[in-house]
Amino acid sequence: MKMVISYNKLWKLLIDKKMSKADLRKAAGLAPNTMTRLRRDQEVTISVIYKICTAVGANIGDVMEFLPEAEEIRDNTITAANKI
Residues in contact with 64: Cβ distance below 8 Å, sequence separation at least 6, in sequence order: 5, 6, 7, 9, 10, 49
Task: Give the CATH number for residue 77.
Answer: 1.10.260.40
Sign of CA dihedral 72, 77, 81, 84: positive
* Count of the separate structural domains present in the chain: 1
- Residues of the domain holding 39: 3-83
Per-residue pLDDT of the chain (84 residues; tens, 9 = 90+): 889 999 999 999 999 999 999 999 999 999 999 999 999 999 999 999 999 999 999 999 999 999 998 765 555 555 555 555
Q: Give the number of other CB atoms < 10 A from CB of residue 41.
A: 13
**Contact by Cβ (8 Å): 7, 63:** yes
